[in-house]
Chains A and B, each alone.
Chain A
Amino acid sequence: MTAMRLTVNGVQREIDVDPRTLLVHAIREQVGLTGTHVGCLTGDCGACTVVLDGRTAKSCSVLALSADGSAVDTVESLADGDDLHPVQQAFWDEFAFQCGFCLPGMLLTAKELLESTPDPDDAQVLAALNGNLCRCTGYNTIVSAVRKASGCATTCVKESPCRKS
């Protein structure tokens, strides 16, 4: 086992891992945050998405040791206490999930898109979501939610007046 450091959602953690340990397992089992999900372990479904040093990554395709010293943000970082992030709020309002298993990837990818492209067109939304599988919704409501969050994001992501109090 090798010791390594991760800053997860702003908190510094020291954990021990095997060279083959995947980042997703380190986050779920060593750090103990289970909001990041395992769906395929082949980098195809996107349920394990986290933000790694500022960019989304599929944490099943990253060796934990590769992330030594890195900052990781997980789906648990999105809400501020009971205040949901606008993307979360839009997903709830638009019925953009059913079982919720794909949500970590959908939410974090949508958030990354809106940060770089505040007012995406449908093609940009679809391209951004293409690494995330959902088997429940048929995607329509997910696209609506991202568009809705974009309307909100362009005006108020920083101040978050849309956040439900």
Chain B
Amino acid sequence: MTPRYSAPRDLAGVTAALADGDGVVVGGGTMVVPDMTHGRTSAAVVVDLSRAGLAGVTAGEDGAVVGAMTTYTDLITSDVPLLSTVASGITGGPQIRNRGTAGGSACYANPASDVPACLVALGARMRLASAGGAREVPAAEFFLGGFRTARRPDEVLEAFVVPPLGGAALGYLKFKLAEGSWPIVTAATFAPTGGPLRIVVGGAAATPVAVDVDRPSVGSDDPAWREHVREAVHTALDAAEPWTDVLAPAAYRRRIAPVIAARSAGRALEEDR
């Protein structure tokens, strides 16, 4: 069946096109378009966001507002914390970073991807819009499972809001099997001045897993502290829904997640010095 194609000129047009709940939203297209080509996604209407004016980062009262159509390349030159550096390491080369969007990746919600854990670590809020109105969902509540989010079929992600860092340091690390693979495990560490660390692990479970750990009393290379971090991550993963894909089984992800988490925390603390 040939779908209808709609490229609304504004957000209202987008939400109107999605109102029936049988639309597929195309942002940068880097994931959805191949899915359509191979018959893995289909819908009555293809809603193309490229003309809806949703690109760009603006400074809002409560943080940076990142429009849904802001590409990774846009983010690289932005001052959005963490995402500006994460964007440059997105798999797929500059061509993908030129088209792909952090908002799109969040909505796609592949557990084995960079963006979800970053958004949770940053305490981002997801702005969803529908014909019935708008709402904000904290990133921590947005990701419901592998490829599942809180976005309803009649909603579009308009933007996400990254609150000010308040002097917090950040560390990010991802582990891939090879350059071309999706991330197997990612870890984003949020280190507020003087406070405990929040490490958010991606890829190790179906949704990002947040762990709070105390700062090390000696240094981040203190074996006892590293062990403390690892145990905290292990404990948190025990309670999470495991994730397996073709590249790596859940057991391997769970096995290396504490290692990646501890390294990411080490990076954040290094940056904090």
A residues near B (Cβ < 8 Å) are 2, 18-20, 22, 41-44, 46, 49, 52, 55-58, 60-63, 65-66, 68, 105, 109, 112-113, 127-133
Contacts and interface: CB of A to CB of B under 8 A. Distances in A.
Given A61-B99, A66-B50, A46 B93 contact: yes
Interface string B93-106: 11110110000000
B99 A57 contact: yes
Given A44-B92, A131-B92, A132-B93, A20 B99 contact: no
A19 B4 contact: yes
Nearest to B73: A55
A20 B1 CA distance: 10
Give chain A's interface secondary structure class.
mixed
B95 A131 contact: yes
Contacts of B33: 22, 43, 60-63
15 contacts: A2-B5, A19-B46, A20-B37, A41-B37, A46-B95, A57-B95, A58-B30, A58-B92, A60-B33, A61-B34, A61-B96, A63-B5, A63-B26, A130-B91, A131-B94
Contacts, number: 97
Contact of B3 (A19, A42, A130): A19
A56 B95 contact: yes
A105 B62 CA distance: 41
A108 to B, nearest CB: 9
Interface in B42-63: 46, 48, 50
B138 interface: no
Contacts of A62: 29, 33, 99
B7 interface: yes
Contact of B93 (A19, A20, A65, A129): A129
Given A56-B95, A60-B37, A127-B88, 5 more contacts: A43-B34, A52-B99, A57-B99, A130-B180, A131-B92
A68 B36 CA distance: 19
Contacts of A105: 95
B98 A43 contact: no
Nearest to A19: B5
B29 A66 contact: yes
B68 to A, nearest CB: 15
A43 to B, nearest CB: 5
